[in-house]
Structure 1
Amino acid sequence: MVRLRRAVAVAALLVPLLSCGSGGSGDGDNAGTDEAGGATATATEAASPAPAESEPSEELEESEQPAGTEQPDDAAGAAGDWWRPAAGTDWQWQLTGEIDTSVDAPVYDIDGFETDASVVDGLHADGRKVICYINVGAFEDWRPDAADFPDEVIGNDLAEWEGERWLDVRRLDVLEPIMAARFDMCAEKGFDAVEPDNMDGYDNDPGFPLTRADQIAYNRMIADLAHERGLAVGLKNGLDQIDELVDDFDFSVNEECAHYEECELLTPFIEAGKPVFHVEYEMTTDEFCPITQPLGFSSLAKNWDLDPWRETCPAP
């Protein structure tokens, strides 16, 4: 079934995997936690940290590192290490308005282009991890790098999303350097991870004869670009790709699996110890929390414009 918006639902035969390591306003009447706006933050960008030098003859294996020692962020990509969030981690998702830093959540998912580096620094100072939202599957005509996309890779409009058009994800030669530059920006601003959006163009009406194999290849490239820069990366929606991609991605971001009655398809991430960052727009917490809490999801009720408001499930 084709759904012309970001919340695309599909069916798939999934193979369970072994475990690996790891606002606005609301009515306040539900059993969950209703959070609204407080402090906001804007600032200027910070420079990228310099690459760390290595000593190949005396490097310690990861298992030999002293307890409690974390690898420096600037060495993460070279060492094949990056933040790996645990299943069940709470989160906040805000893509519009000034970032409300008062929301009590250990993970923030915010727009990479619109957020300055000192906002990320401030969230880090509060002990939070920060995810960089980047649209990897659709052209956005307002982004500062819009001129980098040649006409031949820009396809049909995304219904209900003005200014967005599907990309021809077969053209890795064109899109890889553009996405690499975007992920460089995320790393330079100090983000810990990337949320790539629109990773399921082949299942929509992109204007190109895309196949599932084309999409899988492109999404793996996206995961590699993130990991090479020491960034964790999430699989956005794309439920029919989970069986092949759960090992390549560090978390899932899902919209409306309860509404479409397909949350079970996301459980391979939980079984692998990786979080499912999940939102519902049309259902109340009373309706979806009994579905997603037993599955171990990190679930929120959010407004469609993804302003600061959120409502969490009640504590179990």
Structure 2
Amino acid sequence: MRVLLFPLTALCLLLSSFSSLLYAADDWYRPPVSVTWQWQLDGVVNEDYDVDLYDIDLFDSSLELIQRLQASGKKVICYFSAGSYEDWRPDAEDFTDKDLGKTLSGWDNERWLDIRSKHVREVLSRRLDLAAEKGCDGVEPDNVDSYRTNTGFYFHRNDQLEFNRFLAAQAHKRGLAIGLKNDSDQVLALVDDFDFAINEQCFEYSECRSFEAFISNGKPVLNAEYREIYVDDESQKNTMCKQSLALKFSTLVLPEALDDKFRVSCLP
């Protein structure tokens, strides 16, 4: 009888341990609707804002900065470009010439990436490894709607969906939350795969309704507006913020350089 009990006990312990691992793998940060935030990608990060989370650059932010922010009770989202090559990044040489497409309009030192490339995905997976190693709570992969752009490659809507889902799955595999950046046309298809949305200028371009599916699913929409009128005209700002609050969006008015020269929040 003892001979039978031992393997059964061992099996139960093994299954229990496996269940714990599954739970841990599913235990990443999930920001709530109306979360407060600060977004700064350029310059020395101002750590003094009383907000729930910071969105900062993956490469430029030190482990010590991330740990200080977290020690003060803030979550940290780490930004990197997933859809474009940036020639100043420390891993820029990891991309091959065939990975690189046309130059981004307005950004002479960036080129579109072939999101179908296995090699590109390997480089991006290493960036997600870096985010996990630095202790980021989540990531913001940028330029994930390039299928609508003349990139120099011939990929389509379904290629973009598959690529974005790849990023989400790889982030979650590493215990990282992940935000869907812009890509308004694919929100309904991707809302279940992502933990929050980050949008730029949805009020300016009348795209905010596209992101309501995130709110309906209990996931926040982090929105940034860049129009100077929202800084210079209190009435215009109040009107926009009233609309943002009605939608339960987390809207900031920021400089387009995201360098903390000014900051206006629609949330208290």
Shared fold (TM-score greater than 0.5)? yes
- Residue 295 (1) aligns with residue 247 (2): yes
- The residue matched to 1:218 in structure 2 has which SS? helix
The structure richer in helix per residue is 2
Bigger relative contact order, structure 1 or 2, given CA contacts below 8 A and separation 6+? 1
Gaps of at least 5 residues in structure 1 are 1-54, 63-74
Equivalent pairs: percent with the same residue?
44
Q: Which amino acid aligns with 1:288?
A: M
User: In the aligned structure 2, how far is the partner of 1:59 from the partner of 1:149?
Assistant: 39
The answer on 1:262 being equivalent to 2:207 is: yes
Deviation at 1:288, TM superposition (A): 1.8
- Aligned residue for 2:256? 304
Paired position in structure 2 for 1:22: none
Query: How many corresponding residue pairs?
Result: 248
Partner-residue secondary structure (3-state), 1:240: helix
What value does the CA root-mean-square deviation take over the aligned residues? 1.7
Q: Superposition pairs for residues 57-76 of structure 1, below 5 Å?
A: 57-59=15-17
Q: CA deviation at 1:76?
A: 8.3
**Structure 2 runs not aligned, ≥5 long:** 1-12, 231-236
CA contact (8 A) 1:196 1:234 kept: yes
Partner of 2:68: 122
Tell which deviates more after alignment, 211-220 or 288-297: 288-297
- CA–CA separation in structure 1 for the residues paired with 2:25 and 2:176: 12
- Give the corresponding residue for 1:87: 33
Q: Deviations over 1:210-229 (max 9, x none)?
A: 20111001111010110010
Aligned equivalents of 2:126, 2:267: Cα separation in 1: 40
Measured in 2, the distance between the counterparts of 1:131 and 1:56 equals: 34
Q: Secondary structure at the match of 2:253?
A: strand
Q: 1:165 aligns with which of 111, 115, 118?
A: 111
How big is the shift at 1:61?
6.7
Q: Which residue type is aligned with residue 112 of structure 1?
A: L
Larger Rg: 2
Q: Secondary structure at the match of 1:300?
A: strand
What's the CA shift string for 1:145-186, capped at 9, x where partnerless? Answer: 111111111011111123111111121x11121011101111
The answer as to whether partners of 1:252 and 1:275 remain within 8 angstroms in 2 is yes
Q: Shift of the alpha carbon at 1:292? A: 1.4
Query: Is 1:235 aligned to 2:180, yes or no?
Result: yes
- Residues 149 and 267 of structure 1, relative CA distance in 2, 3 Å threshold: same
